[in-house]
Amino acid sequence: MSRLVVISNRVPVPDKKKAAPAGGLAVALRAALSERGGIWLGWSGNSSGDENPGDLSILEDGNITYALTDLTDRDVEEYYHGFANRVLWPICHYRLDLADYGRKEMTGYFRVNRFFAERLVPMLKPDDTIWVHDYHLIPLASELRQMGVKNRIGFFLHIPLPPADVLFAMPVHEEIIRALAHYDLVGFQTDHDLANFVGALEREGIGRSLGNGRLASFERRFRGGHYPIGIETAAFAGFAERAAHNSMVRRARDSMADRPLIIGVDRLDYSKGLTQRIDAYERFILENPRHQGNVTYLQVTPKSRSEVPEYEAMQRTVAEQAGRVNGALGTVDWVPIRYMNRSVARPVLAGLYRLARVGLVTPMRDGMNLVAKEYVAAQDGENPGVLVLSRFAGAAREMSGALLVNPYDIEGTANAIARAIDMPLDERKARWRQMMDHLLEHDVTRWCDDFLRDLTEEEQAGDHPEPV
């Protein structure tokens, strides 16, 4: 087996003093890599100010070698806050209204991708398998190819890929698609995302499907596939079983005194549908007064990307909204919404999920949504809770036992919450079993194996994607 070299912008830098960063990519990749081992190159999360970032910092943790680079202030501003998080993120989440395109940011994005390629090349061996992750690094393969790298290079997009009409609103969409054609394999979360990609290729005649996952675009041949990401199902279920002894989980349980808990766990991001979710919960309480003073909603939401104006504005909006609902509905001995802007350790998170009768996962758009899967994995099979899940999360394509909702439909979501709270035990068990069996079979190791098998298999078939 060749050595695996992973590159992503965000890396969960091993630090015993800090909780791991929230975010699906870091959580899933660490789980996948800890078994297989390899090199993981990415951003340290630090800025070098105006100075050129110095040497890479190398950290060994188990069988993973982390190679971390600082970025300059300008890089962080243009590449990360600017193009990645104010152009690609909103557009891929169907939020054209929030996209703020600028040439300076776009140039910075390509410049920093070149910089990552320059940092990577000296570390590479000829038979390494290179796996690039997420929207920050789409142009990396084309930069590596220009530097003469001939290795197999795969790319996985953790976020949605929207249809052509949305994608093409981005002025540089053609460069982005051209960059993807430099990979050997491009992976998406769902068949919808893959179909959107093929649709985008075909719409302007810049590429086509050759069948069987084979694609041609910009005079290159490569492959596309869908690989729904999973979680460490068995390990997470183990955390949840043992969590009853954790003091934070015990405090939460004691404070509930057997009353039902609804849980939401998300980075503070506009794609997560937090304002609509709070509206739906408020409506559920108003329409089901017997639950006033009974049901509590706990929302655990670490702040995210706070330097980006849209995120900063959202932090205020959600905090005000939670405060307003608590003011309007709360009583001397009951707070309707417990709102926390904090990351918690994974075993604690698992324990909190297990306490909750309802997992409320209602993004307006999400590539996969690992929280939905974690909530299911953490349940007690003898008395499981109910997952209420947005139909616009990639996870909805797999979680057949969830109550699916349209998060734009506040009344519909409120009704689903009511149904979940009152669902009989037999139905809860049957729905949970279906989902848990799926999660056990399709865990993060399987996701990693499936992708890497397809990335390396082609090589054996002697079908190296060269210019046609």
List the single partner that 302 binds among ligand ADP, ligand G6P, none, CB under 5 to 8 Å by kind. Answer: ligand ADP
Secondary structure E strands in 326-431: 337-340, 358-361, 386-390, 403-405
CB of 27 to ligand G6P, least distance (A): 8
The rounded distance, in Å, linking the Cα atoms of 115 and 131 is: 17
Nearest alpha-carbon partner for 159 in 151, 167, 149: 167
Query: Looking at 17-25, 116-124, 250-258, 285-293, which segment touches ligand ADP (CB under 6 A)?
Result: 17-25
372 or 416, CB closer to ligand G6P? 372
Nearest alpha-carbon partner for 263 in 354, 199, 179: 354
Contact pattern for ligand ADP over residues 238 through 277, marking x by CB under 6 A: ---------------------------xxx----------
Q: If binding is defined by CB under 6 A, does position 120 make contact with ligand ADP?
A: no
The rounded distance, in Å, linking the Cα atoms of 73 and 47 is: 6
Residues in the chain, overall count = 468
CB of 225 to ligand ADP, least distance (A): 19
Measured CA to CA in angstroms, residue 369 lies from 58, 255, 378 at distances of 31, 28, 15
The rounded distance, in Å, linking the Cα atoms of 380 and 403 is: 18
Nearest alpha-carbon partner for 278 in 217, 176, 203, 360: 360
List the single partner that 10 binds among ligand ADP, ligand G6P, none, CB under 5 to 8 Å by kind. Answer: ligand G6P
List the single partner that 343 binds among ligand ADP, ligand G6P, none, CB under 5 to 8 Å by kind. Answer: ligand ADP
The rounded distance, in Å, linking the Cα atoms of 379 and 187 is: 30
Q: If binding is defined by CB under 6 A, does position 337 make contact with ligand ADP?
A: no
42 or 359, CB closer to ligand G6P? 42
Q: Which of 93, 133, 136, 158 is catalytic?
A: 158
Q: Are strands 38-47 and 57-61 parallel, antiparallel or unpaired?
A: unpaired
Q: If binding is defined by CB under 6 A, does position 189 make contact with ligand ADP?
A: no
User: Would you call 165 helix, strand, or coil by DSSP?
Assistant: helix
Q: If binding is defined by CB under 6 A, does position 27 make contact with ligand ADP?
A: yes
The interface with ligand ADP within residues 295-314 (CB under 6 A) comprises: 300, 302
Q: If binding is defined by CB under 6 A, does position 374 make contact with ligand ADP?
A: yes
78 or 266, CB closer to ligand ADP? 266
81 is catalytic: no
28 or 186, CB closer to ligand ADP? 28
Q: If binding is defined by CB under 6 A, does position 370 make contact with ligand ADP?
A: yes
Q: Which of 366, 438, 442, 443 is catalytic?
A: 366
User: What order do you get walking across the sheet with 296-300 strand by strand?
Assistant: 337-340, 296-300, 261-265, 358-361, 386-390, 403-405
25 or 355, CB closer to ligand G6P? 25
Residue 463 C-alpha from the chain's centroid: 31
The residues annotated with a catalytic role in the active site are 158, 366
Per CB under 6 A, residues contacting ligand ADP are 22-24, 27, 265-267, 300, 302, 343-344, 349, 368-371, 374
